[in-house]
Structure formats: structure tokens, C-alpha cells
Structure 1
Amino acid sequence: MLRSLALAGVCVMLAGFAFSHPVPSLSLSERLAAPGGTSPLVPTERIDALLARVPHHQGRVSGADGVALHWMSFDPGDYRMDYRYLGKGERFPEFSLQASAPTTHGQPARGTVILLHGWMMDGGSLLPWALELAQQGYRTVALDLRNHGRSGHAPSGYGTREADDVVAALKALKAEGQIEGPVHLLGVSYGAATAIFAARELGPQLRSVVAMESFDNAGQAIRTMVPHMLSKPAERWSDYVALPLARWQYGGKGLDQAIAAADRKLGLDLDRVDVGQALAQVPACVLLVHGRQDEHIPVAQGRALAAAAPRAHYLEVEGEDHLTLPMRLDRLSGVVNDWFADAGEHGHCPTPQPLG
């Protein structure tokens, strides 16, 4: 059973910054340039225990710039998956997940779904979606992005350089026989932005995309999320010291200075990482999903993405925030399954039904 696994990658840009991460010595600019570890919300031991019971393939391929990328795939089949969303606990939403070896073997895949995780998460954090879609007949491949999980380290690109990795990984995985049928992307948060940039590069090689809670512009996302995180009340004794210090240091011009320092480290202008501009150039069908109560990446950014690309479809989910939305397989699996089944057929992009 897996519990307390926040699929969203808590705080897309800041998860684990200083007061909530075991490496407090890293500055905000260093944290923005590279995650510096895996979120403690990822229950690695329990994921590994479940994977020991569920057949899968894994390996490494080379991404852009030669960075090593770890992947994990699941064949289509009935994994007897039991997933339950348990609601919000004391601090974070919780769910339970159980699965076992599939009861069917060797069935042809309806297609392949590449899954892309959030900041400070890894491919294992999307295990519920990987198994859900495998049960629907897809081969699913969960990729660890650069600087995450078991993949190698290279300059972060806030979706741009990671998209080049996805393109390279897809080519290598095809050569290894891991790709079957039409290809789809499912990304969450940082992985959603990556999926959109990758979709632009892949062009007609891709059938469709589901992008959950993507930011519209990297610099703007940092400027909205950091103040939101710093407004949180202290939860541990150490927070009573760290929080006021961080609020003083990164209030006002301090945040702009941290972003500028991250720009220099990355050789990248974060204010020019424009996901909406990329989305407008994607030929594949794209479904954008955003929680109306999202305060980490406010819903206004999801709406801005939708406005930038009239061909994309936008689904706004009442009652869900940045942490809960990707965990709501009970609400979203039907929408996602229908989307992948119907999107791209004869150039048609279906209109998803609003959720109640």
C-alpha cells in the first residue's frame, strides 16, 4: 500500500526549499537551478516493494547532451489495481494503492503513453497512472527527468532541455522495442510543461497530450509560487527560524535576484521559458487540466495556456488544488482514458465532458 504520495511534485518550483527539505544549506537560486534531492513525500521504499510484485521493464537511455535517463515500463494487462483516494490528511492528501502481476499476457498494446513527473519527484511517483493506463491496454513508460530519480545530472531547462531528452529517449526506446502503436504523453506540473515542449518537437510522431497543472511562464510561476509557500504557517520548530528568514531574504527584490542568479547558473532566461508559445505550435491534440483551487500554479496560468492555443482543450476541475488534482484518478481516469482513446483519430480532438 502506498500512502501520502503527492504526485504533483509538491510546489512545482520550490518543493523542499530550505525549511521543508533536509538540505537547508542550498540557496533558493541553487534550488531553482536543480532540485538537490527527492521530495520526502515520495515513499521510495513502498514504491520499490510494490514494484517487486509487479512485472515491469527498466533501463537507461541517453538523452540530449548524453545525460543518462532512467525509464520503467509496464505491459498492458489486468494488474488487479485497487486505488483509493483517501482525502486530505493532516498535511497532505493521501491515497492507497495495491496491485499484483497481471492476469493477461502478450496482448497487443493500443498505444504507448510516456509519463513525465513533477519537480523533485520521479517516474515511480506516477505509478498509479502507469498501472491505470496499462490496464486500459497501453504500454506505459515512466521516465525520470534529468536531475531526478535515477537519471543523470545536467542543466535544468524548465521543460525545454527536458523536452529534448524526451525526444531522444523516445527514439532510443523505439529502437529497444519499448514503443508500440500511437504515442501519447501525460505530464504533471513540471512534467506537463516538458510534455508541451516535447510535443512541439515531436510533431506528427505524437498522437496526443494530457498536461496537468502546467505553468504558463517559468519566471512568473516562480514569482507566484514562492510567496505562496512562504505564507504557509510553521509546522516544525526549525520553521520558526527559517520561515521569517526566508520571507525577509526573498521578499521584494530578493526573489528577482534569486531568479537572476538561477538564470546565470543555467544559461537560461526563465522569463522567456514560454509554455503558451510552445503550445500554440503543437500539432497534436492537447488536453490541459487544472484544479480551480490551485495556489501553487494559480488557475490563471492554466487559463492563459488555454487562451494561447485555441485548438487545445481545457478542463478546469472544481475543488482540486495542485496536490490533489493528479491524485484524483477516481475523477480523472475516465476523462484521460476517453481522451487517449479518441484523440487524434482522423485529425479530430474530442471535447472532454465537464466534471461534476
Structure 2
Amino acid sequence: MSPAPVPAVDVPPPDPVPARRTRPIELSGSFTVGGQRLCYTEYGTGDRVVVLMHGIMFTRRMHAPLARRLARAGYRVVTLDLLGHGDSARPAESWRYSMPAFGEQAVALLDHLELPSAVIGGTSLGANVALEVAVADPARARGLVVEMPVLDNAIVAGLLTFAPLLFAARFLPVTVRGVALAANLVPHGSQWVDVVTDTLTQQPEPMAALLHGVLFGRIAPPKSIRRSLATPALVIGHEGDPIHPFGDADTLAADMPNAEFVQARSPVELRMDPQRLTAAIKDFAERCYES
């Protein structure tokens, strides 16, 4: 007797090999504004451009992960070291540092790259600089991505945080040099370790000039001007951070006639759990380029 036939079993096809996520093209460059050298990095290529700017005493490296994600989505992203930060020049004259001056530097970047306009974004200081771009040259800003803006509600906390740093840089420069020396001894290679060590690597004279210029100058465009800014804006804010109060972000979104507000779950959501906010930024930038 022949053996009973073995029933056929449907074998599922093997899982497809996931496509390798290639890193977008990254190119660094520099240009000069007022005799001072400013440095930037470009990620990706294309006609849809996003400019990202960092927080105070941070560098363009802080936005590298977001820049790469946006570049993989088809955007050309440019991260800029503002004057006194990162690889850019660090003059020791406080008059060189102000929010309007930083805004002029961002516009000069667009000129250097021969870009008629871009979506302009930033975090903290960079967020306020994005607002200054919309004030100084509205036609150059297709839209604004404003994360953690600093307005009236942050003034006291900002002074309590940065005034001691200004004092140390002016009167105890050895402490600033010591911290910088220790930071330079930390091995590089990790994104956020590098961001922190970049921030700690300061020299007292330019650090004091930067803090003096920013703290005692115009922090943000006044409410009367904000209410007239017709540029589309995506405002991102969060709770539990006195330097970047929820009320400042919420107020800014209410002031600007074409702003929308997204509440972050924490100050580090865009860095540590970026999917939701990155999707919101990509959707906003896409709408800016469709209009």
C-alpha cells in the first residue's frame, strides 16, 4: 500500500530585505557677513529648502538628526552656526550680537546660497531668529518653524540662568576655560555627547560678549509686530520649562494670524522621540511649498 500523500503546506515568502537607509549628501561651507565668517552644513538636495538654527551656546550639530530626516523626505536642509557659535567666528565685541543681527545673518545665508526663499526654523534662540527673518525680509520666509520661543514670560528665568554664566565669563574666566578643557577631553562620536561638549567648549571673552548682547538687547519682536506677521508658522511648545514657558509659545501662536500650535510632550521630544513632531514639521513644510 502506498503511503498517504502529505498535505501541502503554504510557505509564506521570506520577508523582503529592508532597504538600506542611505545617509543624505552632507556638504559644509562658509561665507562672510560684516567681515565675520559663518559656517553651515547642507543635507540633501532639491528646490524645497529648510534652514535650521540652534539654541544659545549650542551649535548647528544639534539639528543634524532632524536635518537628515527631512533630507530623506526630499528636502534640502541647511543648518547654520550663528555668530559666536560652533565653527563660526566668535568676536569679543558685544555690539555684534543681537537677535536682529542674527536674523540678518540668516538672510545673508539665503543670499550666499542664491535662494529666493526657504522655510526658516529654529529652537529657542534659533526660534526667535526665525521670527526676526520674517520681520526683516518677509518675502524670504515661506514659513516659520518656531520651537521653544522665548518671549516675556521667560525673562526672569533666563536672567537667573544666564547672568551667572555672564558673571563667570567676565570675572572668573579661568572657570570657563577649565570647563572647556574638560569638555575637550571627552571622546567624540555620540550625537548628544558631542552636542553637550560643543556647548561647553567656550572661551570667556566671546561667551561674555554673546550673552551680554543677547540678554540686554531685543529678545523678540514686540506683540504689535508679531500680530502683523502674515508668514505661516508652526509653533511648538511644551510645559514644565521656565526658560521656554508654555505660555510664550501659546501666546506667540495666538498673536500671529497664520500660526498653528503643536504641544510637545517634553522639551526633548523632537530629539529623543522625534517621529510625531518630525511628521508635523514635514507636513507643514510641504504645505508651505504647495501654496
TM-score, normalisation: structure 2: 0.67
| Contact in 2 for aligned 1:291/1:325 (Cα 8 Å) | no
SS of the aligned residue for 1:164 comes to helix
Amino acid at match of 2:111: K
Q: Does 1:62 align with 2:32?
A: yes
In structure 2, relative to structure 1, the CA distance for the partners of 1:285 and 1:337 (3 Å cut) is same
Amino acid at match of 1:184: V
Equivalent residue number for residue 308 of structure 1: 255
Task: Find 1:190's aligned residue among 125, 140, 156.
Answer: 125
* Cα distance in 2 between the residues matched to 1:222 and 1:284: 25
Which digits, 9 at most, give the CA deviation of each residue in 1:80-124, with x for residues without a partner? Answer: xxxxxxxxxxxxxxxxxxxxxxxxxxxxx2411111011111111
In structure 2, relative to structure 1, the CA distance for the partners of 1:60 and 1:285 (3 Å cut) is same
In structure 2, relative to structure 1, the CA distance for the partners of 1:312 and 1:152 (3 Å cut) is same
In structure 2, relative to structure 1, the CA distance for the partners of 1:269 and 1:295 (3 Å cut) is closer
Aligned-pair CA distance for 1:325: 4.4
Which digits, 9 at most, give the CA deviation of each residue in 1:245-284, with x for residues without a partner? Answer: xxxxxxxxxxxxxxxx9899539843x4333544334332
* Cα distance in 2 between the residues matched to 1:182 and 1:166: 11
SS of the aligned residue for 1:296 comes to coil
SS of the aligned residue for 1:343 comes to helix
Amino acid at match of 1:70: C
Task: Find 2:85's aligned residue among 127, 141, 148.
Answer: 148
TM-score, normalisation: structure 1: 0.55
Q: Does 1:283 align with 2:283?
A: no
| Contact in 2 for aligned 1:188/1:326 (Cα 8 Å) | no
* Cα distance in 1 between the residues matched to 2:253 and 2:279: 21
Q: Does 1:273 align with 2:273?
A: no
Q: Does 1:336 align with 2:281?
A: yes
The equivalences for 1:181-330 within 5 A come to 183-217=118-152, 221-227=154-160, 266=213, 269-270=216-217, 272-277=218-223, 278-317=225-264, 319-321=265-267, 323-330=268-275
Larger Rg: 2
Higher helix content, 1 or 2: 2
Aligned-pair CA distance for 1:73: 0.5
SS of the aligned residue for 1:147 comes to coil
SS of the aligned residue for 2:137 comes to helix
Aligned-pair CA distance for 1:55: 3.9
| Contact in 1 for aligned 2:24/2:44 (Cα 8 Å) | no
| Contact in 1 for aligned 2:231/2:258 (Cα 8 Å) | no
* Cα distance in 2 between the residues matched to 1:149 and 1:266: 17
Return 5+ residue gaps in structure 2 as ranges.
1-22, 164-174, 176-207
Equivalent residue number for residue 72 of structure 2: 135
| Contact in 2 for aligned 1:276/1:304 (Cα 8 Å) | no
Return 5+ residue gaps in structure 1 as ranges.
1-52, 77-108, 231-241, 243-260, 347-356
Task: Find 2:44's aligned residue among 48, 71, 75.
Answer: 75
In structure 2, relative to structure 1, the CA distance for the partners of 1:276 and 1:328 (3 Å cut) is farther
* Cα distance in 1 between the residues matched to 2:135 and 2:160: 31
Over aligned residue pairs, what C-alpha RMSD do you find?
Answer: 3.0
**Matched residue count:** 222
Equivalent residue number for residue 107 of structure 2: 167
* Cα distance in 1 between the residues matched to 2:121 and 2:147: 8
Aligned-pair CA distance for 1:313: 1.6
Q: Does 1:121 align with 2:66?
A: no
